[in-house]
Structure 1
Amino acid sequence: MKVKGKYQIDGYFVAILVLSAFLYGWGIWDAGSANSYYTAAITSMTKSWSNFWYGAFDPAGFITVDKPPVALWFMAISAKIFGVHGWSVVLPSVLAGISSVYLMYKLIVPKFGVWPGRVAALIMTLTPTVVANSRTNNMDAILVFCLLLAVYVLQKAVNKKNIWLVLLSFALVGVDFNIKMLQAFMILPAMLVYYWIAIKIPWKKKVAWLFAAVASLAIFTLAYPVAVDSVTKTSRPYIGSSQKNSLLELAFGYNGTERLLGQSTGTGGAFPGMGNTKKGAGKGMVGGQPNGKMANGKKTTGQPQNGQAAGGAAQQPGGTANGMNGQQLSGAAKGTNGQKQSRKAMTGQGTPGQKPSKKSGTKMTKSQIPGGQKMTGKPNGKMGQGGGNSAFAIGTAGPFRLFQSDLGSQIGWYLPLAILGLIAGLFGFRRKESKWYNISDEQQDVILWAGWFVPVYGFFSVAGFFHPYYTIMLAPAIAALTAIGIGAVMKLAKEDGRKPAIARILISLGIVTTVALQAYYAWSYYPIVSVILIIVAILTAIWWLLPQRKNKLVKVLLSVISVMTLAGWWSLTPTLAHDSSAIPAASPSLLSQMGGGNSMGGEINTQLLNYTKTHQGNAKYLFATTDSNSASGYIIKSGKAVMAIGGYNGTDPTMTLSEFKQLVKSGQLKYFVMGNNSKATGGQISKILTWVKENGQTVKYSTTSTNTKNGSNTKETNLMQPAGMQSQNATLYDLSTIYQ
């Protein structure tokens, strides 16, 4: 904060930054392997420049991850400096989260003042999904920071009328494309409109600069994908999750249209367990296999989703489709090896592996039986809402999807304030006695953040496939619009006429609607607290409606307590639980897990690992398996190359059967690990699996397994399996004798 030419420290803002550092960083030393898919890639990227450049998933550089590697570069650098640890791969996300809070403050203060800037920083800090994302090695926290940086540079470019800053801001969006591809382009409408209405230069120059900015965007967007795609395919890794071994195809396919339409790579079928475009869609899937059977015996057209349990990894990431055969076990306590069970089972009223029963405090209904149905665990063992901890819990598509408990419990806490802030900002900062189209400087920023908010809100309202934690993309716009609304109300309250009354109405409406929505999210966990806060909110709202200037500080404090209590507590849960999940989410259910969260793959069989290491010989690969999540734990643990022939989903056409045979014949591959439910999925992968089963020699080994999240050893036979699930013990095939 600058005062009379000197900089003065804003103590409140410093406190907010300290709070964000605590929420995002505390307990990351218990991160384990976080998202083991990306941790395996980071492990591989530290081993060679080629792996680093391409974002190779395995040390041999056979296949890449399903995103460009820019965000992973930061994580790999951290791992190279500090070693590959859970906290070292998570650290860049922590720093990105704190930096996003800083940028929110810097973006709001210049036009709206210090207090709105503080509000924006605080809202960003205490948004549950922001906390959860900033504590894991997924790419979203870094993406959001980089997008905010692009907007910050654009704001500076407009103020200084500097073409180089304009070019830089759009170049940064191009770089952001190489973090999560088309997701970065969601803010382009906002940037383009803001540039056009805000920069004060002659229109011919404005057009010329705009063309230059678009060119800058195109260059930095396409430079990396074109460079990769232009390399001979035999001289680089296969592009993971693409069907044509192309980064550009990945951008517009798996990471583009398929996100909107909800399709599954390689088949065009829906991802299992989604149920998002129609009520009940996708339910009842067992195994998620194409032409598999539902719980009611009907056939499905689903596709196996990342985790066919090859490699013996009992991949049960607490609500993801991985290894859970499409089931959603959300909000439950974490049991053995990352699996979920009721809290009462965790406290002695049940044991891992037992079926839920009335005695264990868990009620079972038809809607709770295994097979893809959604099971929401509660602290009291009862069914209800609460959201969180589920990879595919994204509610029903429609204009109010983000208000539903699945997504709302992660991002929706301040939605009413943001919407009211948008209205208040457009009205409150209007120029006096001016035409409606004469936009004030403050209204320009309102349009900027509305341009961020509306397209992203629209995408999440209609998209067929995304994970709940993707909604972090809305957090900056919600924080900014809420802060702008506060600034507008403060301005209206100081003016004459009816404007102070309008300000009081907006405050009252904002408090009541926001607390009512928050109570809806929290009701199944804390009904009494929810009732108390609703009462406090209503009384405070009535108090605001009265034109009294006395006890203003008390009213403000009651308003803050009403609005921030539940959201603040939700945001605190990942920190208290030391959670660093592959599917990051905030929820009180995390408090019964205490360190680990939703693992996604990462589990290994120690005897299988020891056997293959001992007998690997001169083979290039330790072994091959069907999918990346089955391989990730072995790569992290051993640092050796494990081939995931089908990539993340087990469906990538990485090689033909003849190419696979040649790999075996040349001695580069001796072993193949296959889970009991690794079924043929069509195409070359199906032929490879069939050939391995028919020609490989089965190897016997012990069943001791290790969870890389906590390092504990368990027996696979003791792993809790929901009723109806197949055993996920791995079969090891020796292929070395086939061509002898």
Structure 2
Amino acid sequence: MNPLIRRLRRGRAEDAPWVRPVFLGLLLGTAALYLWNLSASGYANSFYSAAVQACSQSWKAFFFGSLDAANAITVDKPPAALWPMALSVRLFGLGSWQILLPEVLMGVATVAVLYAAVRRRFGAGAGLIAGAVLALTPVAALMFRFNNPDALLALLMTVAVYCVLRALELDEGAARWLVWAGVALGFAFLAKTLQAFLILPVLALVYVVCAPGGLARRFGRLGLGGLALLVSAGWWVALVELWPASSRPYIGGSQKNSFLELTFGYNGLGRLNGDEVGSVGGRGRGGPGGMAVDLPAGMELPTRAGGGPGGGGGGWGETGLGRMFNEQVGGQISWLLPAALILLVAGLVVTWRAARTDTARSAFLVWGGSLLLTTGVFSFMAGIFHEYYTVAMAPYLAALIGMGVAVLWEERSRFPASAALAAAVAVTSVWAWVLLGRTPDWQPWLRRAVLVGGCAAALGLLFAGRVDRRLGLAAAGLGLAAGLAGPFAYTLSTLAEGHQGSIVTAGPGGLRGPGGRGMPGNGRMFVLYGPGQGQLPGGPGGQLPGGLAPGGLAPGGQAPGGQVPGGQGTGRPPGGPGGQAPTGEGGPGGTGGMGGLLNGATVSAKAKAALLADADSYTWVAAAIGSQNAASYQLATEKPVMAIGGFNGSDPSPTLAQFEQYVAEGRIHYFIASGGGFGGGNSAISTWVEQTFEKAAVDGATLYDLTARK
């Protein structure tokens, strides 16, 4: 037999015969789980799907991450997360599977890398537990089947930690692993900018303190890793900043056409302090959740649950230590978070007296420090925060569970170790009881079973070191089953539903609150309807510019009037022929909680035919304010559609003069009028179009023919 095939089938010579088959089963099971019902999400986040479609048609769009193949404007992130999906679409054509399959493969790869990182020091059992915990975390199951940048970010951050752990094992050869860690972090930056650097202080500090070799050598190797990071992230940034602005697309999300401004503003400090100028989080702009809308003097909008600046919260919910456990976030990530914290403390206590270079303690410090730092930033950030961001925590949490269980199991003959193991299981079962109680009508039997099974397992583990080993293993197995039952059930519910739009949540039907599906807290989230349909109690005439209206979603996730942010109609993504969504429930919120918020429009066959008429004669078949609206028509026609103002419709691109020039040159055929975008400085373009050109209603869509003046 070929040695490579033998190694793949058998694994390491020192491994027990069961190890490799179980590991391969874990990977195959994860793949099968994540592939199941994959197409239910259609184009998922149409914002990124449209960019993927553009990147598959134009290498220039591929390099810059443009929203359209004619390169009018980019997405509001670097393009690395788009590249795997774009290559898939370029090879196999445009479709839901072609876009989402690379995300599934990233999920499987993350499980594999996590297993490899944990098993090196703590054994195959610990690695398998860690991999299973990661695979069954609800937010991981959501985001490894979705086309946001978070899947690639989670994979690369896990790779970076693996490489640092390898460097901590070595004196000679450590520099090579630190260089690879720097490369992973650099490309993670090109996926989601500064979030990639959240754990950088932890990785650097643990290496300097705990690595073998002299202090000068440690700093020197760390410098090489930093240089690799700078090169792997900086090459793209340098090219974009040096490229003449006149011959590249506008940098979406920025106000001055600068990627550095985007990085340190909207995607950087703005996320921490809430001052996200020109974005859905712009402080002081008066919009719901900080949305950038222009209001008449003296008019203010109520915020989403959590109060306003200075009140311990903001438009994106309450901040503070309890954020990861609240009704919005808890069911996404926190099932095993209390246990992970207990096991982190226990692991550090067990390894406290070890030598400075002890790799077990270093692993607890790296994984634990990464979890604590990421959790802390997410808990207190005042800017844009979505529940799915917490997928970044999942690998760190899963590693601590696997390592902690392995260490305490080995020490179970000592009562403090068995007590800590029992406490972790008991706290997990009680917390699962609380989380499952937030969806009381969904599988009520499971709540009782988890509590009873977890408490029984905790009692057995308390005496695991004093009873027959088989009884101890039975208690451990029961505890593991009880701990994973809740997140596994939420994961299955997540996989059974399609998730669409820019704000998605995991769990059974999404997280519910008084405001309706996916509307936690007081439900006072504003929904963009059609122009002129928004009513504000207490405002001048009750009218809101841009068509914003309070009140959240109606029960079942359907917005009154059937209108959604960024488009017309039900908000189903154009996931099938003619721009129609795949079968299943659509509408704002659709299934999967807030899955329809900030989603695109349904494009009718007649509207699609109108845009495709003589399409090759134009650079852009149409233009629309806001990227989600533009994305719907672009995905339906597979032709460039200009997103005026980028994601929110608030970026100053193009200017009115530029737009008038494009029209005069005959480069844009139609202007699509809708409630797309959250308002801002592009209303001048809408006004000019309305005053200058003839409009026509095409099967519910309002189109202005920019070749037919009044």
Is this a same-fold pair by TM over 0.5? Answer: yes
| 1:501 matched to 2:421 | no
Contact 1:45–1:51 (Cα < 8 Å) also in 2: yes
2:537 aligns to what? none
Counterpart among 296, 320, 333 of residue 398 in structure 1: 320
Partners of 1:687 and 1:133 in 2: CA distance: 37
1:143 aligns to what? 153
* Larger RCO (CA within 8 A; separation ≥ 6): 1
Question: After alignment, is 211-220 or 476-485 more displaced?
Answer: 211-220
Structure 2: which amino acid aligns with 1:103? V
Structure 2: which amino acid aligns with 1:93? E
1:473 aligns to what? 392
Q: How far has the Cα of 1:170 moved from its partner? A: 0.9
Counterpart among 286, 295, 301 of residue 291 in structure 1: 295
Q: Provide structure 1 residue ranges, at least 5 long, that are not aligned to the other structure.
A: 275-280, 303-325, 329-366, 373-391, 495-499, 704-729
Q: How far has the Cα of 1:680 moved from its partner? A: 5.2
2:458 aligns to what? 541
Structure 1: which amino acid aligns with 2:692? N
Contact 1:394–1:468 (Cα < 8 Å) also in 2: no
Please give the residue correspondences for 1:78-477 in structure 2 after superposition, counting only pairs within 5 Å. Answer: 78-160=88-170, 161-162=172-173, 163-266=175-278, 270=282, 282=288, 289-291=293-295, 299-300=299-300, 395-431=317-353, 438=356, 440-464=358-382, 465-477=384-396
Counterpart among 669, 675, 687 of residue 690 in structure 1: 687
Partners of 1:674 and 1:113 in 2: CA distance: 60
The DSSP-based 3-state class of the residue aligned with 1:698 is strand
Partners of 1:679 and 1:166 in 2: CA distance: 44
Q: How far has the Cα of 1:586 moved from its partner? A: 1.9
Seen in structure 2, the aligned counterparts of structure 1 residues 288 and 201 have a Cα distance that, compared at 3 Å, is closer
Q: After superposition, give the CA deviation of every residue in 1:420-446 in whole Å (9 maximum; x if it has no partner).
A: 1110110112336x7xxx463211111
The DSSP-based 3-state class of the residue aligned with 2:329 is helix
1:517 aligns to what? 431
Contact 2:253–2:279 (Cα < 8 Å) also in 1: no
2:32 aligns to what? 22
The DSSP-based 3-state class of the residue aligned with 2:698 is coil
Contact 1:133–1:585 (Cα < 8 Å) also in 2: no
Structure 1: which amino acid aligns with 2:260? L
Partners of 1:137 and 1:679 in 2: CA distance: 23
Counterpart among 444, 447, 456 of residue 530 in structure 1: 447
Q: How far has the Cα of 1:606 moved from its partner? A: 3.1
Counterpart among 5, 22, 28 of residue 12 in structure 1: 22
Partners of 1:75 and 1:428 in 2: CA distance: 44
Q: How far has the Cα of 1:198 moved from its partner? A: 3.5
Partners of 1:267 and 1:10 in 2: CA distance: 48
Please give the residue correspondences for 1:25-40 in structure 2 after superposition, counting only pairs within 5 Å. Answer: 25-40=35-50
Q: After superposition, give the CA deviation of every residue in 1:206-245 in whole Å (9 maximum; x if it has no partner).
A: 2222222222222222210110121111111111111111
Structure 2: which amino acid aligns with 1:74? P
Q: How far has the Cα of 1:620 moved from its partner? A: 1.9
Structure 1: which amino acid aligns with 2:478? L
**Following superposition, which runs of at least 4 residues in structure 1 exceed 6 angstroms of deviation?**
5-8, 271-274, 590-593
Q: After superposition, give the CA deviation of every residue in 1:319-345 in whole Å (9 maximum; x if it has no partner).
A: xxxxxxx989xxxxxxxxxxxxxxxxx
1:669 aligns to what? 668
Q: How far has the Cα of 1:602 moved from its partner? A: 4.8
Q: Provide structure 2 residue ranges, at least 5 long, that are not aligned to the other structure.
A: 1-10, 308-313, 512-555, 557-582
Q: How far has the Cα of 1:506 moved from its partner? A: 0.9
Q: After superposition, give the CA deviation of every residue in 1:239-275 in whole Å (9 maximum; x if it has no partner).
A: 111111111211111111222223444279648999x
Seen in structure 2, the aligned counterparts of structure 1 residues 695 and 394 have a Cα distance that, compared at 3 Å, is closer
Identity of matched residues, %: 30
The DSSP-based 3-state class of the residue aligned with 2:702 is strand
Q: After superposition, give the CA deviation of every residue in 1:573-617 in whole Å (9 maximum; x if it has no partner).
A: 222335576444321116999677424215224323322322657
Q: How far has the Cα of 1:69 moved from its partner? A: 0.9
Seen in structure 2, the aligned counterparts of structure 1 residues 107 and 417 have a Cα distance that, compared at 3 Å, is same
Q: After superposition, give the CA deviation of every residue in 1:454-482 in whole Å (9 maximum; x if it has no partner).
A: 21011111112121111001001101111
Q: How far has the Cα of 1:515 moved from its partner? A: 1.3
Structure 1: which amino acid aligns with 2:336? Y
Partners of 1:560 and 1:155 in 2: CA distance: 26
Structure 2: which amino acid aligns with 1:650? G
The DSSP-based 3-state class of the residue aligned with 1:604 is coil
Q: After superposition, give the CA deviation of every residue in 1:52-108 in whole Å (9 maximum; x if it has no partner).
A: 111111121111111111121111111111111101111111011001111111101
Partners of 1:36 and 1:117 in 2: CA distance: 36
The DSSP-based 3-state class of the residue aligned with 1:589 is coil
Partners of 1:589 and 1:273 in 2: CA distance: 32
Seen in structure 2, the aligned counterparts of structure 1 residues 605 and 520 have a Cα distance that, compared at 3 Å, is same
Contact 2:280–2:292 (Cα < 8 Å) also in 1: no
Contact 1:154–1:165 (Cα < 8 Å) also in 2: yes
Structure 2: which amino acid aligns with 1:540? A
Report how many aligned residue pairs link the two structures. 607
Partners of 2:225 and 2:663 in 1: CA distance: 51
Partners of 1:327 and 1:697 in 2: CA distance: 39
Partners of 2:79 and 2:194 in 1: CA distance: 14
Contact 2:54–2:67 (Cα < 8 Å) also in 1: yes
Structure 2: which amino acid aligns with 1:668? R
The DSSP-based 3-state class of the residue aligned with 1:130 is helix
Partners of 2:416 and 2:216 in 1: CA distance: 42
Contact 1:190–1:452 (Cα < 8 Å) also in 2: yes
Partners of 1:618 and 1:493 in 2: CA distance: 74
Partners of 2:660 and 2:132 in 1: CA distance: 58
Partners of 2:113 and 2:486 in 1: CA distance: 25
